[in-house]
Amino acid sequence: MGGIAYLVGMSKALPHPGPEAIDLSAVLDALRDPIRRAIVLMVAEEGERRCSSFLHCTTKTNLTYHVARLREAGVVRVRVEGPARIVSLRRAELDARFPGLLDAVLAGTRQDPPLARLVETA
């Protein structure tokens, strides 16, 4: 293998903001949506999950959108593993930058019955 076609296919690294570049408006913006909060809660409780494990929340296309918003805000990390995308929480970086914020939002999310129905331990 060689040449341009090979390189194009290798665009695996997804853009993530650095730890210091995580912005409060962007984080609150990401966490304000119930679907995204459900995803974050599931990732917080299981450590790592594949994108496909969130398909009960919405459609495939829409999931790509919401996961990208969480990633671009610096809330989650997305890693490519074979054909799948593995989502994990950027807890240490978030806690360092905005102490207590994530835990407060997660606690509030757990108390939210309509939203808790979106949270599946798959």
Partner DNA sequence: CCTATAGTTCAATAACAATTGGACCAAGGG
Partner DNA sequence: CCCTTGGTCCAATTGTTATTGAACTATAGG
Tell whether residue 105 is a contact of a second copy (CB under 8 A).
yes
Residue 43 binding result from a second copy, DNA, none, given CB thresholds of 5 to 8 Å by partner type: none
| Residue 117 binds a second copy (CB under 8 A) | no
| Spatial separation of the C-alpha atoms in residues 28 and 98, rounded to whole Å | 11
Stretch that binds a second copy, among 8-16, 26-34, 42-50, 82-90 (CB under 8 A): 26-34
Separation of alpha carbons 93 and 95, rounded Å: 5
Position among 21, 96, 107, 122 found at the interface with a second copy (CB under 8 A) = 107
Nearer residue to a second copy within complex by CB, 104 or 122? 104
What residue spans of 3-119 are helical by DSSP H? Answer: 4-9, 24-31, 34-46, 60-73, 91-97, 101-110, 113-116
Phi/psi of residue 67, nearest 5 degrees? -65, -35
Residue 118 one-letter amino acid: L
Contact mark string toward DNA, 89..118, x via CB under 7 A: ------------------------------
- In whole angstroms, how close is the CB of 75 to DNA at the nearest point? 13
Binding residue for DNA, selected from 17, 51, 88, 91, defined by CB under 7 A = 51
Distance of CA 85 to the CA centre of its chain: 11
